[in-house]
Chain A
């Protein structure tokens, strides 16, 4: 930003501050409200929905974690998301490297095919994936859901990494070839280390998108023991509609990993999510 910032002449500084303050309350307010409710009992909340927690009922989290099965949902989510992200990043990075680096016939065609599925409405694959997973005994299994998640994030991963990998200077590869590196070694010892910032961005982005995924999980998982967090919360709310304090605690449990990732990698995340939209 330039030193002499162009202040709007249309509004005064006060009006601008007011608008900005109001919008900040509008975005962060609901979240803080949720946070206060998560450490209050439902009885307290019913008495006054907007009171400050006093005392802080931290045991709400223990109850949600142990008695309300949120631990199960949390670990299911963690297993599915971490394995899907690990596989999709490796597979996507390999494809992105080949597409960004090597000249071969059909390069852009393969890129286009992989990338174009980003606009597909999910229903076009959803109904058949349900049948296919039933056929292969992968319906209602975390492995089946993981496979589907890998395919969901593949286009975005290839797209983002291809863009970054294409910017690695060719000189590095020429030098590596002269030193006798093979193609696989080049990928392992040059592309992956140098591309690490980009890979980290896609890792976090894929993690958050899959952590929040709802539609495929709700169709492909029915066993309560195998629910991921989003469908676990939704099921819990269906059964205990009135138990606002416990719902809030469960929601907080699902949000905390995302907020932590955001706290540490906010710039990376924003860049990843907006890459491609900027012109």
Chain B
């Protein structure tokens, strides 16, 4: 009973925390972020199983987390929860012009957009980008002008 409640509380806390940290945080996982995730996992482990190393506890905690995730995916499909949990895409560049307010609020720099443009489309300049969109998974999708495609 107690372990299920603890697992549910940790799940909800991490869900809200990662949502509040923003889309870019989830997408751009640097080496340091990876180490940070490991530390978070280690800190979470103690709270989840406390001092009970039994197989039963491990199975119950894992079941709780996976089934909560399943329940959330159902809720996202059948209610308006999806936009709340996943967010909505944000247009960062429209017709070659960066939208400063959206960049600032999303914590995305010009360099991030140009990097995505170089990596995904082989573009060289901002004015070759028709649209840049910050997707709900944190990635930046680039739609180039037709004549700018190499």
| B partners with A | no
Hey, which bits of chain B sit against chain A, CB under 8 A?
none
Report A's interface with B, CB cutoff 8 A.
Answer: none
